Structure 1
Amino acid sequence: MVDGPDVVSRALREAPPDQLAEAADRAIRSALGAVRTDVFVADYRISGLWPVLDPDLPAAGFLACHTVAQRCFSSQQPVHDISDEGPCRLYLPLTAWGERLGVLLIELPSAPGPAVTGRATDIAGALAVAMRAADRVTDRYRRARRRERLSMAAEMQWDLLPGRSVSHRAFHLAGQLEPAYTVAGDHFDWSLDGDRLTLTVLNGEGSGLAASMLTAVTVNAMRNARRSGGGLVEQAELASDTVFYQHRGHRYVATLLLEVDTGTGRVRVVDAGSPHLLRLRGAVVEPVKVEQQMPLGMFAETRYELQEFQLEPGERVFVVSDGVWAAEPPGQEPYGQRAMARSLRATRLQPPTEAVGTVMRELHAYHADSDLRDDAVVVCLDWHGPRERNGG
C-alpha cells in the first residue's frame, strides 16, 4: 500500500469540487486496498445520514449501513463492522473543526489493524475539510442533505449560518434551527478569532421571507462591525441603527451578543431584548441574570452597555429563542416553565452536538410531534477551561 493520506489529499486537491466523493473513492481503493467506499451526509435536522456515492443503495443495505454509520456519527469514533462473511466495513466520522458533516464508509477485504485505521482516520479528516470548502461552490452535498424542499426563507437562513458546531481546546459549541425546512427569522452566528469567541443568537421577528431578510441584514451588520475590529457594543449599535433606518422602529430584532475570552472564561454580554441564557451546573439549571436592554432597531441611536459573568470549567450554557422558551401547545404550560429544564438536564452526558438535538426532539414531543408554531433556536456551549495549545 502507498501512503494513504498524502495520495488522497492530493487527489482531493486536484478533483472538481462536485467530484470529491469519486476522487476519494479511487484514491482510497488504491491507497488502502478498499473494495468499496461511500460518503454519508447528515440531513438538515440531523435525523439521518444519506449516501452520496450510492443514493440508490437497496433498502436492506442502506438500513444496515445506516445503523452503524449513525453510531459512528454520534460517538465521533471509528466503528468496525466485522462479519463472518464478506468484507469488513470501517466507518469514520467526517468532521472539520468540530463541524460534523457525516460518515465515510470504507470496505476492506479483512479487518484493519491500528495502522490502517489511523491512516483511514486521517483520510476522513482530509475529505471532511475538502467537503467543507467545496460546499460553497457546488450544490451536490446540500442536495444530498435535504429530505424535502426548503422554503426560500429557510434557504437564506441556512446559507447565513457559520456551521452547526465548532470545537476548540477550551470549548465545544453547537447549534440547531427548527423547523429546519421552513425556519425564517431565528438564527445564530459565531466567530473564533485568537482568544475571542463571539456568539450571537437572534430571535427573529415576523415570519416568512420578510423575517429572513430582516435577520440577514442584522447578522451582516454585526459581522461588518466585528470584521472592522468593533467589540460587542459597536456590533449591537451598528446593527440597531441599520435596522432602525430601514424600518423606522416598526421592525426590530431581539438579540443576545456574547464574547468569551477563551483564555480566562470571562464572558461579556449585551442582552438586546432576548433570547434566554441558561447555565447548567451539575443537575441544576439556572438563568444567567443579565440586564435586558432594547432590541436592535427599536429606537434611533440606541446605545448599549456591556455586562460580564464568569464561566467555570465543566459548566454548560444554553441559549434558546422564544420559540423554545415560550412554546405553548394547546392545553400546555409554556415549555420554558418546567419541561425545558428537564430536557436540559437530560443532556448532561451528551456532547453539545447531541444535546441540541435532544432539546429539539423534546420540544417536538412537547408539541405531540405537530408542527412548531414558531421558529426555534438552541445553542449549547460547553466550557472546558483554558488549556495549553499542545492539548495539555
Structure 2
Amino acid sequence: MADPYRALRRLLAAGHHARPEDLPTLAMRIAADLAAEAVVLYLIDYGQHHLIPMFGAGTPARDPVAVDGTMPGRVFAVGRAHYGDPTRVWLPLIDGTERLGVLELVPRTSSRRRRRTDDTTLASVFAELIVARRLYGDAIEHTRRREPMQVAAEIVWSLLPPLTFATDMVTVTGILEPCYDMGGDTFDYAVHGNILHLAMFDAMGHGMAASTLTAVALSAYRNARRCGLDLLDTCKSVDKWIASQFPARFATATFAELDTSTGVLRLISAGHPAALLLRDGRHVKTLPGPTYLPLGLGLETAAPVVVEEALEPGDQVLLYTDGVIEARTDTGEFFGVERLVEFIGRALADKVSAPETMRRLIHAILAHQHEQLQDDATALLVRWHPDTGATAQPHRAAAAVRRLSPLRNLLRRRKPAAVRRRGTP
C-alpha cells in the first residue's frame, strides 16, 4: 500500500547525512512506499543533450536518454510531468526554476490512479537534495560530464550562478558553450530588493589565461556590488583591477541594473556587443553600445556612459558575447544578429520557456558551425513580467490563504485522527 508520508519522512531523515552518491539508492529505498517498482534519478549533462541516470546500490540499469525526441526529454524541456504511459511516470526535477533533470517512477499499478501531488512533492524534495548535497562530493559532477573537463572550464563553471532564476517580476536565464573547454566568457546576476544586477564578461584569449582573467573580473564585480558601489563605480573598479593584474590583457563586459518595480534598465557596455530589446517576439531596438572602452586597457578616458531604457511589461533583453554572432560555417557565413533575433523570436512565438529557448539557441549555434566553435558563445536572456507579478499579488495572496502547498497537504492528510479531532492546524 502506498504511504507517501512515510516515504517523505524517510527521505528527509536520511538526506541530512547523505552523500551525493547515496541519492539514487535513497530513491530506490522509498519506492515501495510510493507503490512503485523503481524510482530513478536522471541529471542533465553539461551540454544539455542527454539525461544521464545516477547509479547507486540497488538501482536498475538505465541508459542515457536524449532530450530531443523522447518523452523524458519533453518532460525536462517543458517542466511538466507525464502520466500518459501507465507503466512509466516521468517527473521534472526542478529547484526553484533551475532544471536539473527528471525522475522516472515505475508504478506497480496504473499510473492514472496515482496521487499526482504526492509525486510532485517527492520530486521537489529530490531536487532540493541534489542541490544541497552536490557540493559535498563529486558523484553529481561525474554523472553530468560526458567527457573530461579542462581546467579553464572548471574555473568558470565553479563561479557561475544557477543558469536560471525567476521571481514574480523577472526571469533570467543563461547558457554558455563550449562546456568542457572554455575560458573567457562568463555571466553573473544577483537580486537585491527591487534591483536585478547583471554582468557579462568576455576575456581576451582562450584557455587558462582567459579563465584566470575572467575569475578576477567576476570576483571584482561581486566585491564592488556587495560593497554597495553604483553601476558607474562598479565598472571603474573592475576596470582598475584588470589593468593592475593583467597589464597586457583586457576584457569586454556589460554591466546592468534592472529596477523590477519600474522596469527601468540601466546599462554600461564596455567594448561589448550591444544588447537587444525584444518585444512580442520582435526585435524592436538595439540598445546603445559600446559606451566605454574594454576593461583593463589602462587608458585615461571619459567616464563610462550609463544608458537608460524604460521596459514595457513582457519585454526581453538579450545580452551575448561575440562568439554567438560570429559562429560561422565552412564557407564563412556568420550566424549573425539577424539569425539570432529570428531564432529567439520564433521560440517566443511558440511559447517556449526561456531556459529551453537558450538550450535550443546554443545547439543551433553549434550546428551552424558544425559542432566546432572558434570562440566561446554565451548569452543571457532577461524578461521583465510585472503583469504576472506585482499586479497579481493581491489576488494571489487571497488565494494563497485558501490553498495549502502540496507538501503541507501531504503532511496534513497523514495526521493522526486524535490530533485532527483536537483541531490542530
| TM-score, structure 2 as length reference | 0.83
Assess, with a 3 A threshold, how the Cα gap between structure 1 residues 22 and 232 changes in structure 2: closer, same or farther: farther
1:47-196 alignment runs, 5 A limit: 47-53=49-55, 57=61, 67-83=70-86, 88-112=87-111, 116-196=115-195
Partner of 2:214: 215
* Among 274, 277, 283, the residue aligned to 1:276: 274
Corresponding position of 2:361: 359
Aligned partner of 1:45 in structure 2 is: 47
The Cα of 1:20 is off from its aligned counterpart by 2.2
Structure 1 CA distance, aligned partners of 2:66 and 2:290? 50
Pick one of 25, 32, 35 that aligns with 1:33: 35
Q: CA RMSD in A?
A: 2.5
Q: What secondary structure, in the 3-state scheme, does the structure 1 residue paired with 2:219 have? A: helix
- SS of the counterpart of 2:196? strand
Partners in 2 of 1:301 and 1:224 — Cα distance? 23
1:208-287 alignment, distance < 5 Å: 208-248=207-247, 250-285=248-283, 286-287=285-286
After superposition, residues 306-345 of structure 1 pair within 5 angstroms as 306-345=306-345
In structure 2, C-alpha distance between the alignment counterparts of 1:45 and 1:341, rounded to whole Å: 22
The alpha-carbon deviation at position 295 of structure 1 amounts to: 1.6
Mapped partners of 1:143, 1:304: distance in 2 = 43
Q: 1:357 aligns to what SS in structure 2?
A: helix
- Is 1:373 matched up with 2:377? no
Deviations 1:156-196 (A, max 9, x none): 11111101111211122211111111111011111122222
Q: Which has the larger radius of gyration?
A: 2
Which shows bigger deviation, 3-12 or 168-177? 3-12
Check conservation: 2:67, 2:74, Cα contact below 8 A. Answer: no
Note if contact 1:5-1:119 (Cα within 8 Å) is conserved in structure 2: no
Instruction: Classify 1:176/1:291 alpha carbon distance in 2 versus 1 (closer, same or farther; 3 Å).
Output: closer
Matches of 1:115 and 1:390, distance apart in 2: 33
1:76: how far off?
Answer: 0.3
- Aligned residue for 1:70, secondary structure, equals helix
Q: 1:301 to 1:107 in 2, by over 3 A?
A: farther
Counterpart among 12, 31, 38 of residue 9 in structure 1: 12
Given that residues 232 and 257 in structure 1 are in contact (C-alpha distance below 8 angstroms), is that contact kept between their aligned partners in structure 2? yes
Contact 2:4 2:118 in 1 (8 A): no
Task: Tell me how far 1:210 sits from its aligned partner.
Answer: 0.5
For residues 251-283 of structure 1, the C-alpha deviation after alignment (integer angstroms, 9 at most, x for no partner) is 111000111112222112121111331122224
CA distance, structure 1, for counterparts of residue 67 and residue 187 of structure 2: 35
Q: Deviations over 1:105-141 (max 9, x none)?
A: 1221123468721111111111112211222221111
Cα contact 2:50–2:67 (8 A) shared by 1: no
The 2-side partners of 1:64 and 1:299 are apart by: 46
* AA in 2 matched with 1:57: A
Instruction: Tell me if the contact between 2:173 and 2:380 (Cα under 8 Å) persists in the aligned partners.
Output: yes
Tell me if the contact between 1:11 and 1:27 (Cα under 8 Å) persists in the aligned partners.
no
Query: Does the 8 A contact of 2:277 with 2:316 survive in 1?
Result: yes
TM-score by length of 1: 0.90
Does the aligned pair in 2 maintain the 1:276–1:322 contact within 8 Å?
no
1:113 and 1:227, CA in 2 relative to 1: closer, same or farther beyond 3 A? Answer: farther
- For residues 195 and 164 of structure 1, the distance between their equivalents in structure 2, rounded to whole angstroms, comes to 20
Q: Is the 8 A contact 1:8 1:28 kept in 2?
A: no
Change (3 A) 1:53 1:77: same
Describe the shift of the 1:70–1:328 C-alpha distance in structure 2 as closer, same or farther (beyond 3 A): closer
Distance 1:23 1:117 in 2: 20
Counterpart amino acid of residue 273 in structure 1: G
**Distance in 2, Cα, partners of 1:58 & 1:78:** 20
- The answer as to whether partners of 1:202 and 1:275 remain within 8 angstroms in 2 is no
Amino acid at match of 1:76: G
Query: What is the DSSP-based 3-state SS (H/G/I as helix, E as strand, rest coil) of the residue aligned with 1:192?
Result: strand
Tell me which amino acid in the other structure corresponds to 1:284. Answer: R
Which residue identity lines up with residue 153 of structure 1 in the other structure?
A: A
**Shift in CA distance, 14/334, structure 1 to aligned 2, threshold 3 Å:** same
Farther off after superposition, 198-207 or 43-52: 198-207
5+ residue gaps in structure 2? 397-425
